[in-house]
Structure 1
């Protein structure tokens, strides 16, 4: 099974677009400091590999940019020749939106520089970096930027969609710690957007995705995070309903320096999990505590009182926690995602969760509930493009397997699970967890912020040059009514 995104393409046929002749391509290639790859070139097939092995795209050319000048040249070249354009940052996108068919892919994966200013507690990060690059650089100074849960995730994609993970309850979303971006617009201009300069654009990129340009660098505020007390607590799956009911009350009332996401999972057959738990279906919480270590024992006492099968919480460097799932989810697996925001975890929803967890189709398939509260709630719903700051959880369901032969099976499980739980949701989803789900779904995700995003799109990208994303369409579209 192959999942293909459905988007209009200005070119047709299987050959290269008509504007790509040697007379046009070679001068363009000569202007680049990076590498231009076309079908048949050494390295082209490798450049077309996506994190989600279920999706396959073949651009007419991939430009592996070395710097912002290469990005400007690529945008201008594509615009002048009316080429389809996609943008790849760290390359982790579940929907495979970093590549497009028969167009020009602007690939930032070689732009991975990170510079930390420990006195100002700021971090400058290039657009192709992954969070492991950032964690490595910041940890030397006892700092971290709030991000996700896997170190191979791209900085650009996660940030532009909002950014939630282990540090969200204490320090907010990634965008709540974003100070400025350098970005190339559809007309080829390089601008810096911040609260002081291009504030409308800065508002839009904080959750509005890659709709407004190519971000070549980010400036973040860094937070004081060094060693954390973290790890998984697991219970048998037959206790999942009991544990979920406990979790929905315990975590929102816990101090904000404790984060924990809930998971339905199959235990991987590898350390640190004991052999007697390998490949068992279980439920659990992955914790991250950034507070006073002297208070940790008392804080986790209610967790231990639930008699878990495993309480693997221990002191560790923050980057070690960030890499804990890297080996379980290498690039190239078959992925199918479905997601929702959730305001209330009802008993009826818990019953449905348990039913689908009992049918987990593969070791990597899972359901996570990420907390959306604490510091996230102290930013207004209209202060950034990220709208759903009034919910409690971000739910994601993923069907994952290494084998293409099982793609349909894991996809069908994820879709059925989503269909069963969606009636209990708040009506929108975290854009970084979305596949190609239609324009109404995008609008529902931004709710009342969607018209404002359209207004910014009308100013900076009125022709929808950047549309290979969860698209904000220029025009006068209004958000649909949300029944939840």
Structure 2
């Protein structure tokens, strides 16, 4: 193809359909996504990104941008278009004295955690360490440290971003402030972020508690969270879940494969206080099994990795919840125990505390009043099981909709959630459209939960 040959002259590397590594280059995390781009540019540097953006725009090619590739709808690849793959740009530079980190646009949470943990520091990140820093952050960044330190975007100092006109811009509170505002929650709608600058926080060892209970106590667990989390010490991070018991050594062998309810807890205060901090979860109900002990923060941030390997088939839904009502709890009790396998779960992430002290209009992430962010996710290896797993997620999410906010966390949205974009951004949507019009008037960056210019 002549056009692709022209692209080869402008960038470090191009992978086209006739190249031997094309199958690897086009693959994303979600094994259900099987798209065939016209070309993939594994960007080695900012110049590659600029050239690829200009090429796609001028050639009229659809464009996808891939960081970690964890997008559930597979937005990191596209049929017949151009993929900018940022995975070669994974550097992390830590200034331990200033407590800042400069992070490449293709870095994963594991890359970031490894670099910062060496200094006893951390950025509020997500739940699975193979997640890309870029996609996570641009959507807001909900994770273990949210209650104590806010969302990932609340620690973001600046970004370098290539916009649709091919210009590299620095965006911060003092430079291109409107763009910086939009990038903090507005997802990939405004350009290709090639680097992120974060403030770091003192997090080294955390005390982790994993508590498994019989399903008969699931209602007690959810009602406990409803009353406990609004006033809990912000050094706690915790969420309830439904979980088919994996073969963990602290669970009785004869219970492996049974469906249980669980509390995933960590304490980021003094380690010596950690065991006592777990007492409320021991008092809640008898445990089928528990594990409590100090762990390096990166261990916690990778604890679920094995349940969601690269190439697994997956489908997600999510909603924000301000009040966990009795009616919502009944829905959870009806649907959560039907989780089809150990990689299918409901997590009710606590997003109050530090995250709620940022104003709803201070960043594009508008649901600062929400107490929880629900995610219902199913992951499975066999295509013949697609219908059953997708149905479990959809049925569960549909039943929760009347008891949830209109919007949901953009990083938990599937491709069939495009109609929820306006609700997801609420009162910030009109301003986001204005920023989109200013920086991407032709909607080059449209392969996402799209904000139309």
TM-score range, shorter chain: over 0.9
Matched, 1:236 2:214: yes
SS of the residue 1:111 aligns to: coil
- Please list the CA deviations of residues 106-133 of structure 1 after superposition, one character each: whole Å capped at 9, or x if unmatched: 1111111110000110000000010000
Matched, 1:148 2:109: no
**Aligned mates of 1:362, 1:233 — CA distance in 2:** 19
On the 8 A contact 1:135/1:144 being kept in 2, the answer is yes
**Aligned mates of 1:145, 1:188 — CA distance in 2:** 29
Matched, 1:160 2:138: yes
Q: What is the match of residue 245 of structure 1?
A: 223
Give structure 1 stretches of 5+ with no counterpart: 1-20, 475-484
**Aligned mates of 2:191, 2:71 — CA distance in 1:** 17
Which is worse superposed, 217-226 or 251-260? 251-260
Matched, 1:416 2:432: no
Q: Which among 14, 34, 49 is matched to residue 71 of structure 1? A: 49
Matched, 1:460 2:449: no
**Aligned mates of 2:6, 2:249 — CA distance in 1:** 53
Which is worse superposed, 273-282 or 149-158? 273-282
**Aligned mates of 1:89, 1:253 — CA distance in 2:** 36
Q: What is the match of residue 333 of structure 2?
A: 354
Shift of 1:249: 1.2
Matched, 1:321 2:300: yes
Q: What is the match of residue 220 of structure 1?
A: 198
Shift of 1:27: 3.4
Q: What is the match of residue 12 of structure 1?
A: none
Give structure 2 stretches of 5+ with no counterpart: none
On the 8 A contact 1:363/1:401 being kept in 2, the answer is no
Q: Which among 348, 359, 363 is matched to residue 369 of structure 1? A: 348
On the 8 A contact 1:177/1:221 being kept in 2, the answer is yes
On the 8 A contact 2:275/2:292 being kept in 1, the answer is no
Q: Which among 41, 46, 60 is matched to residue 38 of structure 2? A: 60
Shift of 1:220: 0.4
**Aligned mates of 2:291, 2:48 — CA distance in 1:** 46
**Aligned mates of 1:390, 1:402 — CA distance in 2:** 37
TM-score, normalised relative to structure 2: 0.98
On the 8 A contact 2:307/2:342 being kept in 1, the answer is no
How many residues are matched? 452
**Aligned mates of 1:136, 1:358 — CA distance in 2:** 35
**Aligned mates of 1:365, 1:438 — CA distance in 2:** 20
TM-score, normalised relative to structure 1: 0.92
**Aligned mates of 1:274, 1:113 — CA distance in 2:** 42
Q: What is the match of residue 407 of structure 1?
A: 386
Q: What is the match of residue 360 of structure 2?
A: 381
Q: What is the match of residue 130 of structure 1?
A: 108
- Please list the CA deviations of residues 434-475 of structure 1 after superposition, one character each: whole Å capped at 9, or x if unmatched: 00135430000000000000010010001101000000100x
Matched, 1:291 2:269: yes
SS of the residue 1:285 aligns to: strand
**Aligned mates of 1:233, 1:269 — CA distance in 2:** 14
**Aligned mates of 1:303, 1:262 — CA distance in 2:** 11
**Aligned mates of 1:26, 1:357 — CA distance in 2:** 52
SS of the residue 1:124 aligns to: strand
Q: Which among 74, 80, 85 is matched to residue 107 of structure 1? A: 85
SS of the residue 1:101 aligns to: coil
Q: What is the match of residue 334 of structure 1?
A: 313
Matched, 1:203 2:175: no
Structure-2 change in CA distance of 1:184 and 1:362 (3 Å): same
Structure-2 change in CA distance of 1:61 and 1:216 (3 Å): same
- Please list the CA deviations of residues 132-167 of structure 1 after superposition, one character each: whole Å capped at 9, or x if unmatched: 000000011000010001110000000000001110
Matched, 1:268 2:282: no
Q: Which among 421, 427, 431 is matched to residue 410 of structure 2? A: 431
Q: Which among 344, 347, 351 is matched to residue 323 of structure 2? A: 344
Shift of 1:308: 1.9
